[in-house]
Amino acid sequence: MKIADMNWMQVEAYLQHDDRCILPIGSTEQHAYLSLATDNILSERVSIDAAEPLGIPVFPVVSYGMTPYFQKYPGSVTVRVETYNRLIRDILDSLAEQGFKRILIVNGHGGNIPAMGVYYEWVKEHAGIRVKWHNWWNAPKTWAKVMATDPVASHASWMENFPWNRLAGVTMPDAQHPAANSELMRQMSAAEVRAYLGDGNYAGYYQRPDADMLAIWQVAVEETRALLTDGWA
């Protein structure tokens, strides 16, 4: 269930019998021919699909992340590392104060991974509060399913192309984008990244059959759901 569909009294009642919640985090950034909100759409949806049978509330996705390398792609928005880390810390403080003691962060954006340092630090400072960080797209079972489907896959390629983050009227190229050199890109300015990368696809075809994508999605949902039920210290 979504926090957006609840009032404060319902949340208070929920906390009388359960202390779990999900916080999805994403980014607003270029994804080639896909929605600029791809990371937000996918992290929030996998959270909702995983939590729904368990009745666990899902907070609204944190829609902006760290993506300085895409600043020359219009519509991409980045925040500084310091800003983002403080935001994550403040959100965790609020959730803990209200009584949430088991918090699953579902991350949909690789650029947010540096904030894991804040999460580790925060947990050590809050006895009795459990937090898990879950990069849903490259979690072990989900990533294995992606690789079994097509080993050439990366940012803005087919592996992020699901029915719910495609754009109406946009036709995908029928080609396999050559692999980008990520190590080289780390040395580039944002303008150089755009000139080098082109449309934004890092590697692979732009689209695969929906049957393939829905099979991957099912694995991702089940893997995320398992984190809500198992492994809390």
Residue spans of the domains in the chain: they are: 3-229
- The answer to whether residues 69 and 185 touch, using CB atoms and an 8 Å cutoff, is yes
CATH homologous superfamily of 3-229? Creatininase (3.40.50.10310)
pTM over cut 0.75? yes
pLDDT at residue 199, rounded to an integer: 97
Tokens encoding 143: 């990533």
Residue 20: strand pairing partners:
102
Six token digits for residue 63: 């829609």
List b or e across 52-68, with b for residues whose CB sees 16 or more CB atoms inside 10 angstroms. eeeebbbbebbbbbbbe
Helix axes 210-229 and 38-51, enclosed angle (nearest 10): 60
- The amino acid at 211: A
Q: Where are the beta strands (DSSP E) in the chain?
A: 20-25, 102-107, 130-135, 176-177, 204-205
CA–CA separation, 7 and 11 (whole Å)? 7
Cα–Cα nearest to 80, from 68, 69, 88: 68
Question: What pLDDT was estimated at residue 233?
Answer: 81
3-class DSSP assignment, residue 28: strand
Q: What sign has the CA pseudo-torsion 102, 107, 113, 114? A: negative
Tokens of 178: 């050559």
- The strand pair at 102-107 and 20-25 is best described as parallel
Bridge partners, residue 2, by sequence: 58
pLDDT, one tens digit per residue, over 146-200 is 999 999 999 999 999 999 999 999 999 999 999 999 999 999 999 999 999 999 9
What are the pLDDT digits (tens) for 43-92? Answer: 999 999 999 999 999 999 999 999 999 999 999 999 999 999 999 999 99
**Amino acid at position 164, single letter:** W
Res 197: pLDDT:
96
Q: pLDDT tens digits, residue range 109-160?
A: 999 999 999 999 999 999 999 999 999 999 999 999 999 999 999 999 999 9
Q: What is the pLDDT of residues 81-113, one digit of tens each?
A: 999 999 999 999 999 999 999 999 999 999 999
Which among 13, 12, 32, 29 is positioned nearest to 158, based on CA atoms? 32
- Give the residue among 7, 222, 220, 230 at the shortest CA–CA distance from 102: 230
Question: Tens of pLDDT along 15-34?
Answer: 999 999 999 999 999 999 99
| 1 pLDDT above the threshold of 90 | no
Per-residue pLDDT at 136: 98
What does pLDDT average to over the chain?
A: 97
